[in-house]
Amino acid sequence: MRNNILAVAIVAAAVAAPIAARAQTVGVAPGTSVIVEGAPGIAVESYPAFREYVIRERIPNHAIPGTVEVGTVLPEEGVTFYDVPRSFAATPYRYTIVNGETVLVEPHTRRVVEVIDDAE
């Protein structure tokens, strides 16, 4: 009986270990942000179609001081983020227009992760 309990405990631990490893979180200092490498964005070949979509949706342009580039953190107030349609990408990011540029933004940190340029 004791061997059966030990065997069950070992099997349960072996099954639970990968799940527990995935569930662990990484601490990030307040005020910092993390861009997940390889997180899905919008494919470059879809930029022109996505820009056309944004124009059709009449998304307002938000003006902020300075240039907008990857890594720019957008203000907490005054900038609205919109869901990216699944037809373009299944992504955790949102989009908006800032200083005339369509950008993908990580919504929790408000950090620009991709600038959509249809000239490419």
Q: Give the model confidence (pLDDT) of 27-54 as tens digits.
A: 333 333 344 445 678 888 888 999 999 9
| CATH number of the domain bearing residue 58 | 3.10.450
The rounded mean pLDDT for the chain is: 77
Residue 3 is predicted with a pLDDT of 67
* Structural domain includes residue 88: yes
- Determine, yes or no, domain membership for 70: yes
| Residue type at 97 in one-letter notation | I
Bridge partners of 35, per DSSP, are: none
* Number of domains composing the chain: 1
Residue 105, domain extent: 31-116
Specify the DSSP class assigned to residue 73. Answer: B
Q: What is the pLDDT of residue 46?
A: 87
The answer to whether residue 67 scores a pLDDT higher than 50 is yes
**Structure tokens belonging to residue 49:** 């179609």
In a domain, 1, yes or no: no
Q: How far apart are CA 80 and CA 46, in angstroms?
A: 22
98 is a domain residue: yes
CA–CA dist 105, 82 (Å, integer): 9
**In the predicted model, is pLDDT for residue 25 greater than 60?**
no
- Rg of the chain over all Cα atoms, to the nearest angstrom: 21
pLDDT above 70 (res 4): no
Residue 33 neighbours by CB under 8 Å, 6+ apart: 73, 106, 108, 109, 111
Instruction: Confirm whether 7 is domain-assigned.
Output: no
